[in-house]
Amino acid sequence: MTIAQNTDGKSKPYLKLFVLATVLATAVYGYAQYGNTLILDDLAQRETELRQYQQKNPILVYGVAFGIYVTVTGLSLPGAAVLSLVYAWYFGLVRAVVLISFASTMGATLAFLLSRYLLREFIQNRFGEKLAGFNQNLETEGAFYLFTLRLIPAVPFFVINVVMGLTPMKTGTFWWVSQFGMFPGTIVYVYAGSSIPDLATLAETGAAGILSPQLLTAFVVLGLIPLLAKTLARRFKPADVSSNSSTDS
């Protein structure tokens, strides 16, 4: 082993530690600086001020809101659900759906890439043989698995991003499947948030206050869509040529 190889081998872990430390420092700094301003009670007291500022600076407001959402989801910070409700109330149904849809996908891809860079090599080196079959399945049906997980609200958002980052799935595939897979759930959730009369109500009831039988039913239906699609695909899939040839003989 040459000196250059030794140097490369030692520098890579240090670089990963640097990236991890930077991510953690950014998360801590952001929460310390702006965490209090995102508390619902505080936002509710400034409701009129927020509306007026949006009317005067619409482009700036959309840009900042987009950046905040990408940061929260990309660093897997808590509060994305409440943030979605606030955006739905603040921007309205259509604008909030567009903003959250693209921001959540960008944030998810950022978390996916961080997981891949920081953890994948370690996990594959340690459990590569045990994960061989799993990785092979992901190469053939990975997009469907991801699409299914995106439609099931019970599966935590950040867990999907981190786990998929450990797989051989391509970044482009992760991006477009997440974009389409999260879109129906985004519409349902934003629709619920847009029906909130004011932030004071949301501050009193919390995210659980918007839950209704209709909303829960919508989320259940979303979770059943990929299962129904796979069932129909198997039912109408043509028989294998090998099985047909063996039957004819």
Q: Which regions in the chain score pLDDT beneath 50?
A: 1-11, 36-37, 240-247, 249
pLDDT given for residue 1 in this prediction: 41
Burial pattern 200-232, b for ≥16 Cβ within 10 A else e, equals: eebbeeeeeebeeeeeeebbeebbeebeeeeee
pLDDT reported for residue 213: 65
pLDDT the model gives residue 111: 93
- Residue 106 has a pLDDT of 96
pLDDT of residue 185: 84
Long-range contacts of 117-120, Cβ-Cβ distance < 8 Å, separation of 24 or more:
117/16, 117/19, 118/16, 118/19, 118/20, 119/162, 119/165, 119/166, 120/165, 120/166
- Give the per-residue pLDDT at 179: 94
Percent of the chain with pLDDT over 70: 62
Q: Say what the alpha-carbon torsion angle 65, 99, 85, 226 is, to the nearest 10 degrees.
A: -140
> Quick check: pTM over 0.85?
no
The domain segmentation of the chain, as residue ranges, is: 35-234
Q: What is residue 60's predicted lDDT score, i.e. its pLDDT?
A: 93
Q: What is the pLDDT of residue 219?
A: 67
What pLDDT, on the 0 to 100 scale, is given for residue 201?
Answer: 65
